[in-house]
Chains A and B, each alone.
Chain A
Amino acid sequence: QKEVEQNSGPLSVPEGAIASLNCTYSDRGSQSFFWYRQYSGKSPELIMFIYSNGDKEDGRFTAQLNKASQYVSLLIRDSQPSDSATYLCAVIGEGSGGSNYKLTFGKGTLLTVNP
């Protein structure tokens, strides 16, 4: 069974610090990796996606992918109280018929940014 593992947290950081969120996945054939932010009672919001090894930066967010180690991370620089949410790591593996489409999610990491 294909799995995505995340520390459930909570991860607590002070305002202005760097928050580091980590994720490992079991399906070595996975090609697409996503980070979603989910506020309590709301639906997941796509904040980052990465397809190639290395780093991808978008504003205060940096996604890092290491396919050899089957590891993906999300760094949030200058963390703000509004970043407090659950962060979901998701991976697309290979679906039936060779078509990639199905997101497999981790359980999420709860991040709290303290003012």
Chain B
Amino acid sequence: DTGVSQDPRHKITKRGQNVTFRCDPISEHNRLYWYRQTLGQGPEFLTYFQNEAQLEKSRLLSDRFSAERPKGSFSTLEIQRTEQGDSAMYLCASSLHWRSRDEQFFGPGTRLTVL
């Protein structure tokens, strides 16, 4: 399977706990993105990496959220002190940016439920 993979697919946690999600992009892609989607809404941008550099964080990403992409390969998204409002589908996407073209392909997502 050469698509974007995410782990875990589902996570149930109690309020106040920390959670970490992993994303493995398509191997030749140089850009990696995190989005969040709640019911009835389109995905919303959270953050973006060009290789290993994190180039933008959305205002949606409070200081409880941190993302890393060591060595420009896989990425992790950590949420500290989870709140019920963090319950959502967390989507990772990757792309190969070339000549202003940037088709983004999504992984299966991690569905987070905060009790």
Contact = CB atoms under 8 A, between A and B. Distances in A.
Interface in A81-115: 88, 90, 92, 95-97, 99-108
Interface string B44-78: 11001010000110000000000000000000000
B26 interface: no
A31 B42 contact: no
A22 to B, nearest CB: 15
B44 A105 contact: yes
Contacts of B93: 103
Tell me if B's interface is mostly helix, strand, loop or mixed.
strand
How many residues of A sit at the interface, in one of the four size bands? Answer: 20 to 34
A34 B48 contact: no
Contacts of A69: none
B45 A102 contact: yes
Contact of B106 (A45, A51, A99): A45
Contact of A108 (B42, B97, B104): B42
Interface of B: 31, 33, 35, 40-45, 48, 50, 55-56, 89, 91, 93, 95, 97, 100-109
5 contacts: A99-B55, A101-B97, A101-B102, A103-B45, A106-B42
